[in-house]
Structure 1
């Protein structure tokens, strides 16, 4: 890996950002678009050298980075993979991202790695395991980790905590931060017939450092009820934009990422979504200032 010009993390601004995709490397390097930050999946850059690192190094010289992991398996009922954690530590030392995040999920069992992010039962045992793993990660990396709320389709009958209480207790025990995925909130709330706005109201918003926005696929279950699948393969849904506006009215402007992991469109399409997020942030802040002045 080639080191970027700065080994000090750049603060992620309260602006719109985009997930970095190979399809857009050359456009970004050559055109230097006005964008707040880029986010990369850690596992895509754990190899040694090659074009991905050359492009990422060039982009890191000009933009802050957020690093998003999908392979630590924080919720797994097994020890963390220390080799994976060491690769992650080296990657963070190399690129000095402003933020690092992972999922409240598990994706490994025995010696197998599963190509999915699977839900965690909200029990005391799972809480202790997740907290222990986050402590290990933060100690190894020497920095705070952000934990992302999951997209879920069913609830575990054995759960003894609500999702919100579980997440709040993880934060209390570990001091980790949070990544609020608004699309995940909408997907899970629709699938489990809950109020997504009530979820935002009860979320530990003071600990949120980054927001994700993405698209989903609409389907139906065997009873004909709406079923949303977290596919990241289409534009952000209008209902997710509405929920995002509701959230940022409470958080204030915050680093907001547009995620697109399949059917990746041309760069201007994603840039327009990042710009829309910034417009919503400005409108929410203006409204808040107006309300304060009227008091």
Structure 2
């Protein structure tokens, strides 16, 4: 988890750790080892370029990794919180802005609601390629099995997880560019059947300034939106899981979340800001 500005982990029962979806010794068939703690790792780092007092507010979170700030930044740790890998203030990484793909694209059409397993869908991608939509999603998006798709959205989107969601069938991969102010995910707003973070990549352009994950939402994917304020709010008494990686402008957790960094993204992910070999300056 990395950010340009402040990171506030003031939620309840927040925990970070890591695993490696490309290594069977540190994953369960490529998925986070939910029921096998011996396969988990302690590289769930939290890092920010900010150089302010309390640049990272750990609160009572359990950070199984390092907490790193920019020069002169400090880390606040509450009475019940800890950072297993210690803290330092030499983090300094440039997060370049996102640009949407160039070249020819297909328009992402809207169809009358077609139900699959009881869920109505308004958008279908059944052929690999690059698609665009001048607005946000107008309902649910279905990406077919083994389809490799890129979708550019030029309007804000709110996914409730009920009748509007993104569904990635087994083997599907979606690269989503959001060139709009707001993107919101609740409940089962993004269903990634493969369980692999690399199969859902979210890129927010400089226009994308607000990103939220809430309403009892779990998420598997990687987020690179360096101009977005990222809010995670689970609510309720359950603990929900973020599996993958994120780079945003700020982070605020006010729910019950576990953040599981997938180290395999370093090797196979795209060359964006969240794919780094070291958090330290050389």
Calculate the TM-score normalised by the size of structure 2.
0.29
Which protein is richer in strand relative to its size?
A: 2
Which protein is richer in helix relative to its size?
A: 1
Calculate the TM-score normalised by the size of structure 1.
0.28
